[in-house]
Amino acid sequence: MKKNIRHQNFEEILQELKDWGEPKFRATQVYEWLWKKFVGDFSEMTNLSKGLREKLEDHYFIAKVKVHHSQFSNDGTIKNRLLLNDGNFVESVIIPTDKRLTVCVSSQVGCSLSCKFCATGYLPRTRNMDFDEIVDEVTLANEQALQHFGKGITNIVFMGMGEPLLNYTNVLKAIEKITDPECLGMSPRRITVSTAGVAKMIRKLGDDQVRFKLALSLHAANDAKRNDIMPINETNNLKELVDALNYFYAATKNEITFEYILLNNVNDSEKDAAELVKIYRQVPADLVNIIEYNPIDAASFEKTNDAGSEAFLHYLEAKKVNARLRRSRGKDIDAACGQLANVDRVEK
């Protein structure tokens, strides 16, 4: 059975080629084709002999992610429907602003957390994405960014489909590749991993001394409301999350952000804002991102109106909370926060 060559480390490739009688520099060439030039086929490795390329083809495959379809928003946002090697789909989004080009990447096919305001939460979790597939999301977005905006991706947010901390090993391995100077060489400070709140794994991030930023999808600042809209809170309550975030910060000193979607008559009252202030003061968070709700067919929530959003924000600011209102991008192509839900599958 053929093996995914990108799941072999350099030493394994080196040993395999050595067993085939190839010199050491051939392994270096193969590895550069895979992780610097990101080829999707052995035939593209043009500085290898035809015989070696054919031998690699006989023993290995490259599970290259492909752009199946792209949609372009009126505000410049690009949503990609990505086809995985096994026929599953995920979605990623390129978000352009004046100062940044951010790619929002997925980490799972579907999701198991069932957050009621999120379209992905209504899908079953089919599987975790492999680390090389996540790297492909970034490299494909970078190619598109260069093509459409004349510059590459500047930031990465793990805020697409799935819960990154429930695919811990692959997410961290993908970030290791993305930040490797011999691969993409991006600064970990330009990467944010967003979690719905898996306390045990937040602590593990601290133990592993990660260097990227962390965002907590909070969305309610008391346990009763959070239990209702985010079932994960039933096993990872706010006290546990606060303790885990403080543990993470003490271990890493990395930036922490709270994400808070405003839902009309659910979590947008002055009392809700006061509860959010209390949570904010218990954690060394840098920022609270107040997010507009983007309607989905599966849920009946409504967006808080502009006046209510501004009042919520002003209350936080008056209490010395560093907060900002983040306007949604890509709503016209269902690319905004909480709207990713590609359920189609291609049969191979």
Which two tokens mark 216?
Answer: 């907590």
Per-residue pLDDT, averaged over 233-251, amounts to 98
**Residue 201: which residues within 8 A CB-CB, separation 6 or more?**
165, 166, 168, 195
What is the structure's pLDDT at 300?
A: 86
What is the DSSP pairing of strand 66-72 with strand 60-61?
unpaired
Closest CA to 115 of 80, 163, 79: 163
Determine the Cα angle at 215 with ends 114 and 76, to 5°.
Answer: 85
What is the structure's pLDDT at 209?
A: 98
| Side chain identity, residue 285 | A
Residues in the chain: 348
71-127 per-position pLDDT tens digit: 998 889 999 999 999 999 999 999 998 889 999 999 999 999 989 998 888 888 999
Write down the pTM of the prediction. 0.94
15-72 per-position pLDDT tens digit: 999 999 999 999 999 999 999 999 999 999 999 999 999 999 999 999 999 999 999 9
Which two tokens mark 154?
Answer: 């500047």
What is the structure's pLDDT at 162?
A: 95
Say if CB 61 and CB 2 are below 8 A apart. yes
- Cβ neighbour number for residue 248 with a 10 Å cutoff: 25
Taken in order of first residue, the domains within the chain and their CATH numbers are 3-61 (1.10.150.530), 66-333 (3.20.20.70)
185-202 per-position pLDDT tens digit: 999 999 999 999 999 999
Q: Which residues are catalytic?
A: 91, 337
What is the structure's pLDDT at 20?
A: 97
Distance between CA 267 and CA 285 in Å, rounded?
20
Distance between CA 291 and CA 159 in Å, rounded?
13
Distance between CA 339 and CA 71 in Å, rounded?
14
| Side chain identity, residue 74 | N
Biggest alpha carbon–alpha carbon distance for the chain: 72
